[in-house]
Amino acid sequence: MFELYSNLQNSWQKGGEEKPRSKGEPTGSNMTTNLKRNPYSKVTEWGWQIDPQGLRYTLNRLYARYGKPLFIAENGMGANDQLVPDGKGSYTVEDDYRIKYMNDHLVQVSKAIHDGVDVMGYTVNANLKL
């Protein structure tokens, strides 16, 4: 089982000179200090990276290394959602951005399965994300 919250990179510069160390994820979810954000990934309004291809890459790397079935325990996107009238006397959240996030990640999981990765399951982290 693993959780994918972001795609971070080592902070070493070419030539062996060390860049200043970051403080890790601004959310505090990362315990390491020598990693930096992937500058090519999009980020949410909360500063969390959006990297569906990174999920496929991670699945392939973990499966190649350990050869064990993988279960994605948490994946999701937090946002400052706003309730809007639904036209029927109630309210809803228009979250097409979240639907796109989930779709893009599930497409990459499907590609990893086609790559030969044994994916047992996928769950959404819903307490903050839905």
Question: Would you say residue 36 lies in a domain?
Answer: no
In a domain, 102, yes or no: yes
**C-alpha distances in Å from residue 54, one per residue of 1, 13, 58, 109, 123:** 16, 21, 6, 10, 17
* pLDDT at site 39: 79
Domain hosting residue 98, numbered range: 2-7+42-122
Cα angle: 129, vertex 59, 29; to 5 degrees: 45
- Domains of the chain: total: 1
Q: Is 34 part of any domain?
A: no
Q: Which residues pair with 70 in a beta bridge?
A: 119
Pull the structure tokens for residue 54. Answer: 């990174």
Asked if residue 77 is part of any domain, the answer here is yes
* Cα–Cα dist 70/114, whole Å: 14
In-domain check, residue 129: no
Q: What is the pLDDT of residue 34?
A: 56
pTM summary value: 0.72
Residue 25 lies in a domain: no
The answer to the question of residue 24 being in a domain is no
CB atoms near residue 43 (< 10 Å):
13
Q: Could you say which residues of the chain have pLDDT below 70? A: 1-36, 126-130
- Domain contains 88: yes
Mean pLDDT taken over the chain: 78
Query: Token pair of 110, please?
Result: 């499907």
